[in-house]
Amino acid sequence: MTDSFTEAIKTEQKRILRLIELSPPSELQGRGHLHLQRRGSRTYAYERWQQKGKRERNVYLGLPDSAPVQALFGARFRAQRLERLRHDQKLLARLQDQYLPYDFDSVVSSMSRDYRQVARNNNFDRRYAELLAWTQAPYERNTYPFPASENYAKDGTRLRSKGECIWYNLLQERGILFRCDCKMVFRDKDGNEKILCPDFLIQCFDGTFIIIEHLGRLGDLAYAIDFGERCHWYLQGDFVLGRNYFATSDDQNFGTDSRMIRRLVDRIEGMFYGF
Protein backbone atom coordinates (compact mmCIF):
# COMPACT_ATOMS: atom_id res chain seq x y z
CA MET A 1 0.00 0.00 0.00
CA THR A 2 1.08 3.58 -0.52
CA ASP A 3 0.91 4.07 3.26
CA SER A 4 4.09 1.98 3.48
CA PHE A 5 6.05 4.80 1.84
CA THR A 6 4.92 7.43 4.33
CA GLU A 7 5.58 4.98 7.15
CA ALA A 8 9.09 4.45 5.77
CA ILE A 9 9.63 8.23 5.80
CA LYS A 10 8.49 8.46 9.43
CA THR A 11 10.74 5.55 10.42
CA GLU A 12 13.76 7.13 8.70
CA GLN A 13 13.00 10.50 10.33
CA LYS A 14 13.02 8.86 13.77
CA ARG A 15 16.29 7.07 12.98
CA ILE A 16 17.95 10.27 11.76
CA LEU A 17 16.73 12.24 14.79
CA ARG A 18 18.17 9.57 17.07
CA LEU A 19 21.53 9.72 15.25
CA ILE A 20 21.58 13.50 15.56
CA GLU A 21 20.90 13.24 19.29
CA LEU A 22 23.73 10.73 19.69
CA SER A 23 26.23 12.78 17.66
CA PRO A 24 28.93 14.45 19.77
CA PRO A 25 29.31 18.26 19.73
CA SER A 26 31.38 19.65 16.89
CA GLU A 27 35.10 19.20 17.47
CA LEU A 28 36.10 21.49 14.59
CA GLN A 29 35.98 24.77 16.48
CA GLY A 30 39.36 26.36 15.94
CA ARG A 31 40.58 23.53 13.73
CA GLY A 32 42.03 23.94 10.26
CA HIS A 33 41.87 21.71 7.18
CA LEU A 34 43.99 18.71 6.40
CA HIS A 35 46.70 19.32 3.82
CA LEU A 36 49.03 16.61 2.50
CA GLN A 37 52.42 17.36 1.00
CA ARG A 38 54.57 14.83 -0.80
CA ARG A 39 58.33 15.19 -0.57
CA GLY A 40 60.40 12.54 -2.23
CA SER A 41 58.92 9.15 -1.50
CA ARG A 42 57.04 10.21 1.64
CA THR A 43 53.83 12.10 2.38
CA TYR A 44 53.49 14.50 5.31
CA ALA A 45 50.30 15.84 6.86
CA TYR A 46 49.68 19.42 7.98
CA GLU A 47 46.78 21.26 9.51
CA ARG A 48 46.21 24.41 7.46
CA TRP A 49 44.43 27.64 8.40
CA GLN A 50 43.69 30.05 5.59
CA GLN A 51 42.01 33.28 6.69
CA LYS A 52 40.95 36.09 4.41
CA GLY A 53 43.56 38.83 4.26
CA LYS A 54 46.02 36.83 6.35
CA ARG A 55 48.90 34.56 5.52
CA GLU A 56 48.04 30.86 5.66
CA ARG A 57 49.45 28.91 8.56
CA ASN A 58 50.50 25.25 8.50
CA VAL A 59 51.11 23.08 11.55
CA TYR A 60 52.85 19.75 11.03
CA LEU A 61 50.80 16.79 12.29
CA GLY A 62 52.87 13.81 11.24
CA LEU A 63 52.48 10.99 8.74
CA PRO A 64 48.99 10.24 7.30
CA ASP A 65 48.50 7.27 9.64
CA SER A 66 49.52 9.15 12.78
CA ALA A 67 47.09 9.72 15.66
CA PRO A 68 46.79 13.54 15.17
CA VAL A 69 45.89 13.08 11.50
CA GLN A 70 43.34 10.39 12.32
CA ALA A 71 41.84 12.65 15.00
CA LEU A 72 41.46 15.52 12.52
CA PHE A 73 39.92 13.19 9.94
CA GLY A 74 37.47 11.83 12.54
CA ALA A 75 36.39 15.31 13.61
CA ARG A 76 35.82 16.41 10.01
CA PHE A 77 33.96 13.17 9.15
CA ARG A 78 31.63 13.45 12.17
CA ALA A 79 30.90 17.12 11.41
CA GLN A 80 30.03 16.45 7.76
CA ARG A 81 27.95 13.41 8.67
CA LEU A 82 25.98 15.53 11.14
CA GLU A 83 25.49 18.16 8.44
CA ARG A 84 24.09 15.53 6.08
CA LEU A 85 21.79 14.12 8.75
CA ARG A 86 20.30 17.56 9.37
CA HIS A 87 19.92 18.10 5.62
CA ASP A 88 18.11 14.75 5.22
CA GLN A 89 15.88 15.48 8.21
CA LYS A 90 14.65 18.70 6.54
CA LEU A 91 14.33 16.99 3.15
CA LEU A 92 12.17 14.16 4.52
CA ALA A 93 9.94 16.63 6.34
CA ARG A 94 9.31 18.47 3.05
CA LEU A 95 8.81 15.20 1.18
CA GLN A 96 6.25 13.98 3.69
CA ASP A 97 4.26 17.19 3.33
CA GLN A 98 4.35 17.12 -0.49
CA TYR A 99 3.92 13.36 -1.07
CA LEU A 100 0.76 12.41 -2.97
CA PRO A 101 -0.51 8.84 -2.43
CA TYR A 102 -1.41 7.07 -5.66
CA ASP A 103 -3.78 4.35 -4.42
CA PHE A 104 -7.15 4.12 -6.15
CA ASP A 105 -9.22 5.93 -3.49
CA SER A 106 -6.74 8.81 -3.18
CA VAL A 107 -6.57 9.38 -6.92
CA VAL A 108 -10.33 9.12 -7.45
CA SER A 109 -11.06 11.50 -4.57
CA SER A 110 -8.98 14.18 -6.35
CA MET A 111 -10.94 13.84 -9.61
CA SER A 112 -14.04 15.76 -10.61
CA ARG A 113 -17.53 14.74 -9.49
CA ASP A 114 -18.41 12.94 -12.74
CA TYR A 115 -15.32 10.74 -12.55
CA ARG A 116 -16.03 9.96 -8.91
CA GLN A 117 -19.55 8.93 -9.90
CA VAL A 118 -18.18 6.53 -12.52
CA ALA A 119 -15.90 4.98 -9.89
CA ARG A 120 -18.86 4.44 -7.55
CA ASN A 121 -20.97 2.97 -10.36
CA ASN A 122 -18.23 0.48 -11.11
CA ASN A 123 -18.53 -0.83 -7.55
CA PHE A 124 -14.77 -0.78 -7.08
CA ASP A 125 -15.01 -0.92 -3.29
CA ARG A 126 -17.40 -3.89 -3.36
CA ARG A 127 -15.17 -5.89 -5.72
CA TYR A 128 -12.03 -5.06 -3.73
CA ALA A 129 -13.79 -6.27 -0.58
CA GLU A 130 -14.69 -9.53 -2.35
CA LEU A 131 -11.09 -10.09 -3.40
CA LEU A 132 -9.85 -9.26 0.08
CA ALA A 133 -12.26 -11.82 1.55
CA TRP A 134 -11.00 -14.39 -0.98
CA THR A 135 -7.38 -13.87 0.09
CA GLN A 136 -8.26 -14.06 3.79
CA ALA A 137 -10.50 -17.13 3.53
CA PRO A 138 -8.96 -20.47 4.64
CA TYR A 139 -7.17 -22.34 1.86
CA GLU A 140 -4.82 -25.30 1.59
CA ARG A 141 -1.19 -24.28 1.72
CA ASN A 142 2.11 -25.84 0.82
CA THR A 143 3.17 -28.08 3.73
CA TYR A 144 6.75 -28.56 2.54
CA PRO A 145 9.17 -27.50 5.33
CA PHE A 146 10.75 -24.06 5.16
CA PRO A 147 14.48 -23.91 4.31
CA ALA A 148 17.04 -23.37 7.05
CA SER A 149 17.51 -19.73 6.00
CA GLU A 150 14.91 -17.41 7.52
CA ASN A 151 13.36 -14.87 5.15
CA TYR A 152 10.71 -12.46 6.42
CA ALA A 153 8.60 -9.86 4.62
CA LYS A 154 8.05 -6.38 6.06
CA ASP A 155 4.89 -7.48 7.89
CA GLY A 156 6.68 -10.43 9.51
CA THR A 157 5.38 -13.16 7.18
CA ARG A 158 7.91 -15.92 6.71
CA LEU A 159 8.69 -16.82 3.11
CA ARG A 160 10.94 -19.33 1.41
CA SER A 161 13.48 -16.99 -0.24
CA LYS A 162 14.66 -13.39 -0.42
CA GLY A 163 13.20 -13.21 -3.93
CA GLU A 164 9.76 -14.11 -2.58
CA CYS A 165 10.17 -11.39 0.07
CA ILE A 166 10.78 -8.81 -2.67
CA TRP A 167 7.69 -9.97 -4.58
CA TYR A 168 5.58 -10.02 -1.41
CA ASN A 169 6.55 -6.52 -0.30
CA LEU A 170 6.08 -4.97 -3.75
CA LEU A 171 2.68 -6.60 -4.29
CA GLN A 172 1.52 -5.35 -0.90
CA GLU A 173 2.78 -1.83 -1.58
CA ARG A 174 0.63 -1.68 -4.74
CA GLY A 175 -2.45 -3.02 -2.98
CA ILE A 176 -2.42 -6.18 -5.12
CA LEU A 177 -4.21 -8.96 -3.25
CA PHE A 178 -2.84 -12.52 -3.34
CA ARG A 179 -2.60 -15.92 -1.73
CA CYS A 180 0.78 -17.39 -0.75
CA ASP A 181 1.82 -21.02 -1.32
CA CYS A 182 -1.74 -21.94 -2.32
CA LYS A 183 -2.32 -25.59 -3.32
CA MET A 184 -3.72 -25.97 -6.84
CA VAL A 185 -4.73 -29.14 -8.73
CA PHE A 186 -3.98 -29.42 -12.45
CA ARG A 187 -5.26 -32.12 -14.80
CA ASP A 188 -4.06 -33.06 -18.26
CA LYS A 189 -6.18 -34.40 -21.14
CA ASP A 190 -5.59 -37.98 -19.98
CA GLY A 191 -6.98 -37.30 -16.51
CA ASN A 192 -3.61 -37.27 -14.73
CA GLU A 193 -3.40 -34.90 -11.80
CA LYS A 194 -0.61 -32.79 -10.37
CA ILE A 195 -0.68 -30.68 -7.19
CA LEU A 196 1.41 -27.52 -7.36
CA CYS A 197 1.86 -24.60 -4.96
CA PRO A 198 2.86 -21.40 -6.78
CA ASP A 199 4.53 -18.76 -4.63
CA PHE A 200 1.68 -16.30 -5.29
CA LEU A 201 -1.82 -16.65 -6.74
CA ILE A 202 -3.61 -13.42 -7.71
CA GLN A 203 -7.28 -13.06 -8.61
CA CYS A 204 -7.83 -9.95 -10.72
CA PHE A 205 -10.83 -7.63 -10.70
CA ASP A 206 -12.17 -9.28 -13.86
CA GLY A 207 -12.00 -12.75 -12.27
CA THR A 208 -8.93 -13.97 -14.15
CA PHE A 209 -5.94 -15.39 -12.27
CA ILE A 210 -2.18 -14.82 -12.29
CA ILE A 211 0.47 -17.07 -10.77
CA ILE A 212 3.98 -15.99 -9.81
CA GLU A 213 7.05 -18.02 -8.92
CA HIS A 214 10.57 -17.04 -7.94
CA LEU A 215 13.26 -19.57 -8.79
CA GLY A 216 16.26 -19.68 -6.51
CA ARG A 217 18.25 -22.70 -7.68
CA LEU A 218 18.09 -23.00 -11.46
CA GLY A 219 21.78 -23.87 -11.39
CA ASP A 220 20.72 -27.23 -9.96
CA LEU A 221 19.79 -29.50 -12.90
CA ALA A 222 17.07 -31.40 -11.03
CA TYR A 223 15.52 -28.10 -9.90
CA ALA A 224 15.60 -26.77 -13.47
CA ILE A 225 13.95 -29.95 -14.79
CA ASP A 226 11.26 -29.62 -12.12
CA PHE A 227 10.63 -26.03 -13.27
CA GLY A 228 10.10 -27.31 -16.82
CA GLU A 229 7.58 -29.85 -15.55
CA ARG A 230 5.72 -27.18 -13.63
CA CYS A 231 5.49 -25.07 -16.79
CA HIS A 232 3.92 -28.09 -18.52
CA TRP A 233 1.32 -28.57 -15.78
CA TYR A 234 0.54 -24.87 -15.45
CA LEU A 235 -0.14 -24.83 -19.17
CA GLN A 236 -2.82 -27.49 -18.61
CA GLY A 237 -4.60 -24.87 -16.49
CA ASP A 238 -4.17 -22.24 -19.23
CA PHE A 239 -1.38 -20.44 -17.37
CA VAL A 240 1.01 -19.32 -20.09
CA LEU A 241 4.53 -18.18 -19.17
CA GLY A 242 4.80 -14.44 -19.78
CA ARG A 243 1.04 -13.93 -20.18
CA ASN A 244 -0.58 -14.86 -16.87
CA TYR A 245 2.29 -16.85 -15.38
CA PHE A 246 5.39 -14.89 -14.34
CA ALA A 247 8.66 -16.40 -13.13
CA THR A 248 11.80 -14.65 -11.94
CA SER A 249 15.12 -16.17 -11.00
CA ASP A 250 18.26 -15.59 -9.00
CA ASP A 251 21.45 -15.41 -11.05
CA GLN A 252 24.28 -17.94 -10.97
CA ASN A 253 25.69 -16.27 -7.84
CA PHE A 254 22.27 -16.32 -6.10
CA GLY A 255 21.82 -12.58 -6.61
CA THR A 256 18.27 -11.22 -6.92
CA ASP A 257 17.47 -8.22 -9.14
CA SER A 258 14.65 -6.31 -7.42
CA ARG A 259 14.49 -3.89 -10.37
CA MET A 260 13.46 -6.73 -12.67
CA ILE A 261 10.76 -7.81 -10.22
CA ARG A 262 9.51 -4.22 -9.89
CA ARG A 263 9.07 -3.95 -13.67
CA LEU A 264 6.92 -7.09 -13.66
CA VAL A 265 4.89 -5.77 -10.72
CA ASP A 266 4.23 -2.61 -12.78
CA ARG A 267 2.68 -4.81 -15.47
CA ILE A 268 0.77 -7.02 -13.03
CA GLU A 269 -0.69 -3.96 -11.31
CA GLY A 270 -2.45 -2.98 -14.54
CA MET A 271 -3.69 -6.54 -15.04
CA PHE A 272 -4.98 -6.75 -11.46
CA TYR A 273 -7.00 -3.54 -11.56
CA GLY A 274 -7.88 -3.83 -15.25
CA PHE A 275 -6.44 -0.41 -16.11
What's the confidence (pLDDT) of residue 117?
72
Mean pLDDT of 23-43: 86
pLDDT single digits (tens) 115-129 = 877 766 666 778 888
User: What is the mean pLDDT of the segment spanning 164-182?
Assistant: 95
Q: What's the rounded Cα separation, in Å, for the pair 35 and 14?
A: 37
Q: What is the pLDDT of residues 140-149, one digit of tens each?
A: 999 999 999 8
| Mean pLDDT along residues 15-37 | 86
What tens digit of pLDDT does each residue of 63-101 get? Answer: 999 999 999 988 888 989 899 999 999 999 888 888 887
Angle at 6 between CA 92 and CA 165, to 5 degrees: 115
Model confidence pLDDT, tens digit, residues 11-20: 899 999 999 9
| pLDDT of amino acid 120 | 65
Q: How far is CA 239 from the centre of its chain?
A: 27
Residues 6+ away with beta carbon under 8 Å from 1: 103, 172, 173, 174, 175
pLDDT at position 122:
66
Number of residues written out for the chain: 275
- Sorted by where each begins, the domain ranges of the chain are 3-98, 138-273
CATH 3.40.1350 fits 138-273, yes or no: yes
For residue 1, pLDDT over 60 is answered with no
Q: What is the pLDDT of residue 102?
A: 74
> At residue 137, does pLDDT exceed 90?
yes
The reported pLDDT for the residue numbered 3 is 58
Q: Which of 115-124, 126-135, 180-189, 223-232 has the lowest mean pLDDT?
A: 115-124
Kindly report whether the global pTM for this prediction surpasses the value 0.85: no
For the chain, what percent of residues have pLDDT higher than 70?
Answer: 96
The DSSP string of 186-241 is EE-TTS-EEEE--SEEEE-TTS-EEEEEEES-TTSHHHHHHHHHHHHHHHHTT--B
SS3 150: coil
Average pLDDT of span 232-240: 96
